């Protein structure tokens, strides 16, 4: 019978996870709905794109990863170029290590998952300094899958605009309808426009988009 990965391997993987995603371990078990304000604050890059490839492996330090390459159709924050590749902690499935052991360190629950050909809007955190790994802001909540003319995240956009206020005069009718949605898919074009304007105008940084109790 094949064995599982050794304890030292497990420790390295856990250290990697904690190093690049503070609070991630708690987020896999505690459901907290993040608002658009929080997602914007946590994101270094925001793009709309299609998943071009998804592979996995174990790096030279023994850290398991899933590598995702995106074909970018629009950059909403940052300048990633026409393609963007990044690695997220965890394997796609248990992997035979070729020495009688099986690596069971798959992507944790509540984290973003990726499928070739799928289109989404991705809110990506800054890569970790030590591992270089990164994930979407708010884990799976920072991935908005595009279906038809609508976009939705893993929690059906719950809490996304709850108690979020924007200074008068900044929103057009389309953006107002987006922010008026309490749950469920929102118009992709309107959501994209809202994010781009918030980023360009530094609405969150300048307090022009904020939580109502702040």
Q: What is the pLDDT of residues 52-97, one digit of tens each?
A: 999 999 998 889 999 999 999 999 999 999 999 999 999 998 888 7
**HEC-encoded secondary structure of 70-137:** EEEEEEEECCCCCEEEEEEECECCCEECCCCEEECCECCCCCCCCCCCCEEEEEECCCCCCCCCCCEC
Quick: pLDDT tens for 158-205: 999 999 999 999 999 999 999 999 999 999 999 999 999 999 999 999
Strand partners, 51: 70
| 214/86: higher pLDDT | 86
Going by pLDDT thresholds of 50, 70 and 90, the confidence category of residue 214 is low
| Residue 32, token pair as written in the block | 């907290």
Higher pLDDT, 89 or 11: 89
| DSSP label at residue 167 | -
Give the H or E element holding residue 51: strand 45-58
Q: What's the length of the chain? A: 214
As a whole number, mean pLDDT of residues 12-28 equals: 46
Per-residue pLDDT at 136 exceeds 90: yes
> What residues contact 52, with CB distance under 8 A and at least 6 apart?
69, 70, 71, 83, 116
Residue ranges per domain, the chain?
A: 3-211
In angstroms, the Cα distances linking 90 to 71, 78, 109, 140 are 22, 26, 10, 14
pLDDT over threshold 50, residue 19: no
Of 16-30, 149-163, 200-214, least confident by mean pLDDT is: 16-30
pLDDT at 6: 43
How many Cβ atoms are within 10 Å of 33's Cβ, its own excluded?
16
Confidence check: pLDDT of 117 > 50: yes
Question: Number of C-alpha atoms within 13 angstroms, CB side, residue 134?
Answer: 21
Average pLDDT over residues 119-140: 95
Mean pLDDT for the chain overall:
87
* pTM metric for this prediction: 0.86
Residue 8's pLDDT is what? 45
pLDDT band at 4, cuts 50/70/90?
low
């Amino acid at each position: 019978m094949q064995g599982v990965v050794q304890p030292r391997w497990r420790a390295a993987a856990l250290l990697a996870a904690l190093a690049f995603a503070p609070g991630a371990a708690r987020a896999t078990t505690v459901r907290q709905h993040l608002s658009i304000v929080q997602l914007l604050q946590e994101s270094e890059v925001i793009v709309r794109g299609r998943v071009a490839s998804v592979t996995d492996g174990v790096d030279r330090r023994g850290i398991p990863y899933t590598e995702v390459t995106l074909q970018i159709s629009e950059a909403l924050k940052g300048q990633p170029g026409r393609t963007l590749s990044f690695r997220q902690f965890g394997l796609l499935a248990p992997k035979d290590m070729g020495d009688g052991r099986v690596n069971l360190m798959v992507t944790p629950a509540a984290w973003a998952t990726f499928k070739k050909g799928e289109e989404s809007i991705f809110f990506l955190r800054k890569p970790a300094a030590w591992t270089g790994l990164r994930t979407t802001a708010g884990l799976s909540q920072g991935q908005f899958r595009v279906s038809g003319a609508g976009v939705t995240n893993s929690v059906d956009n719950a809490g996304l605009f709850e108690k979020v206020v924007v200074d008068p005069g900044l929103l057009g009718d389309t953006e107002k309808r987006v922010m008026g949605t309490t749950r469920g898919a929102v118009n992709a074009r309107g959501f994209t426009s809202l994010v781009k304007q918030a980023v360009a105008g530094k609405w969150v940084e300048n307090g022009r988009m904020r939580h109502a109790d702040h």
